Amino acid sequence: MSPVYIPILKAKTGEFSALQNLPAHVAGRIVPLLDLPYPDSKYEGTLQDYVTKTARNCGTAWSGKEAFIDITKWRPNARVESGVHVLEHALTRLTSNGVLVRPVVGYDRWDDVEYSQALRSASVTHAREFCLRLDLEAIEDMGDPDYFEERLEEISSALGLGPTNCYILIDFGDLTKASVPEVLEKADFAVDYLKQLGYRQIVVAGGSMPAFVNEAVDEPDHVGTVHRIEMLVWKAMQRARNDAGIIYGDYGIRNPAAMDGIISKHNNGKIRYTIANQFFILRGRSKQLERLGLQQKALSRLLAASAHYMGPTFSWGDRTVTVAGDPESAYMGGPAQWIGIDSNHHIHAVLAEIFEHQTQIAAVASRTDV
């Protein structure tokens, strides 16, 4: 079954808990693209052990299911201590932990000799399918068809890629400053171009969540909403095309460009709750004023009392919000746990939104046919 949603997620504890707590009927409709983080400055072990542990945790959450893996946070030629390229090591370890893993090919990184060689090796040992990741520069390159198609042919011939075994990811990245019309124009152009080349499984993705909560909600102890540009663009494309081959993708509840490992002494409590076309964001206050755990409990009660809350039966994440909001419960959760809670709800909410939109389009089409 083809996925209807490809979430681009950091391969970290919070995201793994979100995936692990998805019911089978939800997990079966997505293929996550996992971006392997680079270890932060506090990590004291080897790179090899870091990747191995990450793969083990991923296997616990996602064994027996498909996922794509990318290494955008690493140098394209990065190797672990054994001398093996980090992508090859990640693929080997993920496979040994039961994940049906597929490599992501970075259009912008292909010229690195060691990176492209690692992918050539992967095409022999691991890959049934690939995902070719195109950034904004790649979309610009489409304006020079000879150059773009020569480059695409080089990648395709080296890896044995073609429309039948390769997803194309059009990755718009950070959309916090973007508008729907400008993104839609570029997405339509890129999709039309790729369709002419024969590609049928095209993911259109981006992320509208700001990097910091104060960029979304100005004042502490307030709530606000942020438009999800990526969803609005996908819906507009589907209204015009009604094409199941245009797959929705996003960055979950994180900002695509946010730096890892930044810990501020003034971190705020927060809940990032996905609703139709928007994020509903509940902001607490500096942890210097109140413990984050206590803030999360208060924010959970505030969310549960709002008109946006979808109820404890909607998802594991929503159920955990109810538990956290209970004054009799000791559960508070830490930052990683709340990423998992928010992400789990997000995946459920996105799938519900996709299916609702598809149903609306089908209803319009049936009335038109009468």
DSSP helix/strand/coil, 249: strand
* CA dihedral over 325, 210, 70, 143, signed as positive or negative: positive
Kindly report the average pLDDT of the chain as a whole number. 95
SS (H, E, C) 308-339: CCCCCCCCHHHHHHHHHHCCCCCCCCCHHHHH
Is the full-model pTM beyond 0.75? yes
pLDDT digits (tens, 9 = 90+) for 245-277: 999 999 999 999 987 766 667 788 999 999 999
pLDDT digits (tens, 9 = 90+) for 1-42: 589 999 999 999 999 999 999 999 999 999 999 999 999 888
Can you state the angle between helices 335-369 and 13-20, rounded to 10 degrees?
Answer: 50
- Domain segments of the chain: what residues? 5-369
Can you state the angle between helices 113-125 and 86-96, rounded to 10 degrees?
Answer: 20
Q: Given a cut of 80, is residue 368 above it in pLDDT?
A: no
> Are residues 11 and 333 in contact, defined by beta-carbon separation less than 8 angstroms?
no
pLDDT digits (tens, 9 = 90+) for 104-145: 999 999 999 999 999 999 999 876 789 999 999 999 999 999
Helix (H) or strand (E) holding 286: strand 278-286
Give the confidence band of 75 by pLDDT, cuts at 50, 70, 90: very high
CA-derived radius of gyration, the chain: 21
Burial letters 112-126, b for 16+ CB under 10 A, else e: eeebbebbebbbeeb
335, β-bridge pairs: none
For residue 332, the model assigns a pLDDT of 92
pLDDT digits (tens, 9 = 90+) for 173-219: 999 999 999 999 999 999 999 999 999 999 999 999 999 999 999 99
Give the side-chain half-sphere CA count within 13 A for 36.
31
